[in-house]
């Protein structure tokens, strides 16, 4: 009746069913078959590219904020002295406690922060490098790099830090992302000088009192 046929299968199509194509029109059956055979793009580092790049970064940020909020609300010192929380003391990385079998501290400490400034600085760094790296690696590989960086920093502290010193923060994971970003830039032949400068400045700050250089270095090596 319409004198319009599908350009793929040549079946006639009514006006309500035809779908515009690059050339002519397609019928609903051919459109459905085409969609089912389309493959999602894959990352050059393996795995599928994230459909929502930045989603995992946001989730990680929310987890860090939530952990800070809980410790602050349960601490006598509130926001400024959240480390006085009983929960904080149960999750923070203390090498001697890990040696006694409390291995969960190696990972839980990476979601704790001492004061709001510590949290804000790490979140800023996370959201600067996280989303683009998440898109390149895909969801699960990106998450693996983050967690391995966190674990690498904790292991370095456990092995070489003062056994009684408490260490917390997502810095090991962040430095792992720094290292991974540097690897990606170098492998793609892109200019990595700005990243090298940023990493150098961050390592320089790591020598300041109260900051765990070992945690940063361990996270960087893991990344």
Counts for the chain of helices (H) and strands (E), in that order: 10, 2
Q: Nearest-5° angle of CA 178, CA 184, CA 186?
A: 105
CA 40, CA 102: separation in Å to the nearest integer? 42
Per 3-state DSSP, the chain is made up of helix, strand and coil in percentages (nearest 5) of 60, 5, 35
Query: For 14, which DSSP code?
Result: -
CA 174, CA 146: separation in Å to the nearest integer? 7
Active site annotation includes 154: no
Kindly name the residue from 83, 85, 154, 171 that is annotated as catalytic. Answer: 171
CA 107, CA 191: separation in Å to the nearest integer? 33
26: enclosing H helix or E strand: strand 25-26
Active site annotation includes 171: yes
Integer angstrom CA distances of residue 178 from 96, 186, 200, 206, 207: 29, 12, 11, 14, 18
Q: Which residues are catalytically annotated?
A: 171, 216
């Amino acid at each position: 009746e319409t004198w319009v046929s599908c350009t793929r299968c040549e079946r006639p199509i009514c006006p309500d069913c035809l779908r515009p194509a690059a050339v002519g029109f397609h019928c609903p059956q051919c459109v459905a078959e085409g969609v089912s055979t389309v493959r999602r793009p894959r990352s050059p580092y393996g795995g599928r590219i994230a459909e929502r790049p930045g989603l995992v970064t946001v989730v990680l940020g929310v987890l860090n904020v939530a952990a800070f909020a809980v410790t602050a609300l349960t601490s006598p010192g509130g926001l400024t002295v959240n480390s006085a929380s009983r929960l904080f003391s149960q999750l923070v990385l203390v090498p001697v406690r890990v040696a006694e079998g409390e291995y969960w501290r190696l990972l839980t400490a990476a979601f704790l922060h001492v004061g709001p400034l510590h949290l804000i600085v790490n979140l800023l760094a996370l959201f600067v490098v996280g989303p683009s790296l998440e898109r390149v690696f895909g969801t699960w590989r990106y998450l693996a790099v983050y967690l391995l960086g966190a674990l690498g920093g904790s292991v370095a502290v456990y092995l070489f830090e003062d056994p009684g010193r408490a260490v917390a923060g997502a810095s090991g994971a962040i430095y792992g992302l720094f290292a991974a970003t540097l690897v990606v830039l170098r492998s793609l032949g892109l200019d990595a000088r700005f990243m090298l400068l940023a990493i150098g400045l961050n390592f320089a700050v790591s020598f300041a009192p109260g900051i765990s250089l070992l945690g940063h270095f361990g996270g960087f090596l893991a990344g």
